[in-house]
Structure 1
Amino acid sequence: MKYAVFTGATGGLGTLCVKELSRLANWMVFAGGTKEAELEKLGKLPNIIPVRLDVTKQESVNATLEIIKSYTNKLDAIVNFAGMTSFTSLIEGESVEAIEKLLNVNVVGTARVNRTFFDMLYQGHGRIINCSSESGWMTPQPFAGPYVLSKYAVDAYNDSLRRELIYLGIPVIKIQPGSYETNITQQVYENFDKTISNTKYYKKLLTKMKPLMMMELNQKNDSRRLVKTVIHAMESRHPKLKYRVGTGKLLAMLELLPEGGVDVVYKLIFGKQGHL
């Protein structure tokens, strides 16, 4: 039997991955999340042990560690899917608070989980899988600053950790998914509406931007492909260093341009705001 701890198991894509893993007889998954109702549902699945896990609190992670130790003395995989998103200006509203919150969950939470469970992972000669985003490698988009910088940080953390753990024979793999229809997508919609209602500088621009943003977020990427990719990363004898799944077509086209060219495209599409 193989053992894995899976964070973010009660939200969107993490839930789908855990449900698929429950069908595999060779895995026992400690499914960590903060939504009690979802944890209760996951607990009814075979091979799933639900645990209330808040990655922003060390005492919560320590409590999960003790639960895991009551079942096994080793881990074969740590899969970090706990994460948050946002849509906000970097110069208006609660932008600083948003940055702090996303860094705490997406980056520090990932590092905290890997640090706390590492001894058990080393004991099992296991691997670490960190969920980043297409935003972790693409040129940054306006009004996604807190999310983008957190995912850039996840990418940097992942690569630094990988180059450290090659000396211990522990694979570190990053998943860089595009947009999928989940509760996180709904959170972006809500943040957008809040931003456009409260903005002092960007109401005209955001009104123009909304249709393009909706088109990008409403891509019907097949979540089954992402789930299969995550399981492949968990089980492959020779996993890739990174997996990109469901990359947005419009955003991918921007990657063909130099940085200044991307700026020109944004100005041409949405126009200059000027002074009030």
Structure 2
Amino acid sequence: MKKVCVITGGGSGMGLATAKIIGRENYIIIVGRSIEKLEGALAELRAEGIEAESFACDISDRDSVDKLATYAKEKGKISAVIHAAGMSPHMGEARKIMEANALGTININEAFYNVMEERSCIIDVSSMSAHLTPKIIMPERSYKYSRIDTVLFMRKMMARVNLFPKKLRSSVAYGISKHFVVWYAKTDAAKFGKKGIRVISISPGNFETPMGDLEKESASEYTEYCAIKRFGYVEEIASLFSFCVSDKCGYLTGVDILCDGGCVASGCNPLKMR
């Protein structure tokens, strides 16, 4: 059977760079909102001799994600899912960001739990914002509703976001949603472990990607706090993703890996930077 790797957000940036590495040994399914937006990425992969195809999926819609999971299972044994799709503060309003980042992660993990087998791995991509956003903002006590009632979960997440002025809500939604991703991956580890599946989250800092370009003006001020004073290169984070899903990391699960050039370690405080 083919080894299959599913990469959401695989049309550009971190996802595409990862597909070029993992595609050497896996059949790749890159996932995005529309097939048309994935055409260029698919052509790049095939030009490098990588077997790949694209699949349109709305990660915030559970039915759409279920169809993706079922399709991937039909193509072969799913070795890895790299859930890199998401929205940054400049890409939409607060609720859309929460749906894409938080609800999207719930949908991906739940749908693929049903189709993945032993010695496979899911990476849920978070952000250094999960570590930088002040903890007092996080409605962590309400995260448990993600496994009980997703409608109630979303209501509670947005209730917290809506406490803030409108101009800050997209940024607050982003910080909360990415903090939730870290929590969700960690607390999913035991459940997935019973099937021999690993779940981790990775929290990138600022990288040279199309999404990073949208945030570049506001993100650049963080660079001076980094030990490595530049944005990361996509090949660097792609190599980390690829290593973490490999059998070489067969004992790694239930943990978040921060890859931010040393920004969080500096102790910088976003509230004092604005």
Q: Return the TM-score normalized by structure 1.
A: 0.71
SS of the aligned residue for 2:6 comes to: strand
**What residue number does 1:32 align with?**
31
CA 1:71/1:178 → structure 2, altered by over 3 Å: closer, same or farther? Answer: same
Is 1:109 paired with 2:104?
A: yes
Q: Following TM superposition, by how much is the alpha carbon of 1:110 offset from its aligned partner in structure 2, in angstroms?
A: 1.3
**What residue number does 1:222 align with?**
233
Q: How does 1:39-54 map to 2 (within 5 A)?
A: 39-44=38-43, 45=46, 46-54=50-58
Is 1:19 paired with 2:20?
A: yes
Candidates 134, 145, 150, aligned match of 2:172: 145
Candidates 251, 254, 267, aligned match of 1:238: 251
Candidates 78, 81, 84, aligned match of 2:81: 78
**What residue number does 1:4 align with?**
5
Calculate percent identity across the aligned residue pairs.
Answer: 21
Candidates 140, 154, 159, aligned match of 2:186: 159
Query: Does the aligned pair in 1 maintain the 2:4–2:72 contact within 8 Å?
Result: no
Structure 2: runs of 5+ lacking an equivalent: 138-167
Query: Does the aligned pair in 2 maintain the 1:12–1:182 contact within 8 Å?
Result: yes
Aligned residues: 230
Q: Return the TM-score normalized by structure 2.
A: 0.72
Q: Which amino acid aligns with 1:127?
A: C
Q: How does 1:142-221 map to 2 (within 5 A)?
A: 143=168, 144-188=171-215, 212=221, 219-221=230-232
Q: Following TM superposition, by how much is the alpha carbon of 1:4 offset from its aligned partner in structure 2, in angstroms?
A: 1.7
Q: Following TM superposition, by how much is the alpha carbon of 1:20 offset from its aligned partner in structure 2, in angstroms?
A: 2.4
Query: Does the aligned pair in 2 maintain the 1:78–1:121 contact within 8 Å?
Result: no
Q: RMSD of the alignment, in Å?
A: 3.1
**What residue number does 1:57 align with?**
61
Name the CA distance, whole Å, in 2 between partners of 1:226 and 1:33. Answer: 20
From the CA coordinates, give the structure whose radius of gyration is larger.
1
Higher relative contact order (CA 8 A, sep 6+): 2
